[in-house]
Amino acid sequence: MSKGDAKEEELLVWWSPSAGRIQGDREPAIVVEPSETADPDAELTIKTIAGSVETIKNKDAATCLSSSTKGLPDILDLDDFSEDSMMYTLRTRYKEGCWYTYVGPILISINPFQWNKDLYSIEQMQKYKGLRSTSSLPPHLFAIADTALQNLRGVGDVCELHNQSIVISGESGVGFACPFSF
């Protein structure tokens, strides 16, 4: 591929640096030399994120769209929603210090194993109070809590009175559910 080629024209594929031994490790790679055939055992040459050139079989690669490489704040905004794109988005956002990611109205939180006092400050909480669109600010636990409270109270432009349930699951919160209803 010449330097003048546009990035939009690059063919991307998902590939596993561990050859599938580590679940969820697939990452995007640029196809340098496509396979001449659709045969699953045919080989194609790729360039990895790390810059190395690898040869893999067609069956070990899956098509990847460029939106999946950007670490978008809402996984539902990906053009090719898959396990690969979801895991890569979560890894990318985590490495950037973005511990929260939306999946529509659901919030995924990855424990950073460190404290960030600014992330949970009163000022930060006020930013999310009465939020009309979750896309106007980065994903946050405060947005989910405020939306649930607005829906519980039946306030806001698009809110109706709804029962609410917040489920927190994971290592430190397994099985905890906090249902709210009138």
Q: What's the pLDDT tens digit per position in 79-115? A: 888 999 999 999 999 999 999 999 988 899 988 888 8
Residue 129 shares a structural domain with residue 172? yes
Using the 8-state DSSP alphabet, how is residue 150 labeled? Answer: H
- Only one residue has tokens 């055939």, namely 37
Residue 161 shares a structural domain with residue 105? yes
The answer to whether residue 110 is domain-embedded is: yes
Pairwise CA distance, residues 95 & 89, whole Å: 10
Domain count, the chain: 2
The answer to whether residue 79 is domain-embedded is: no
The answer to whether residue 173 is domain-embedded is: yes
Residue 121 shares a structural domain with residue 51? no
Cβ distance 22 to 13 under 8 Å? no
Domain boundary among 16, 43, 64: 64
Residue 174 shares a structural domain with residue 107? yes
Supply φ then ψ for residue 101, to 5 degrees. -145, 135
H or E segment at 140?
A: none
Mean pLDDT of the chain: 83
pTM: 0.79
From residue 69, give the alpha-carbon distance in Å to each of 13, 32, 89. 11, 17, 7
* Residue range of the domain that includes 42: 7-64
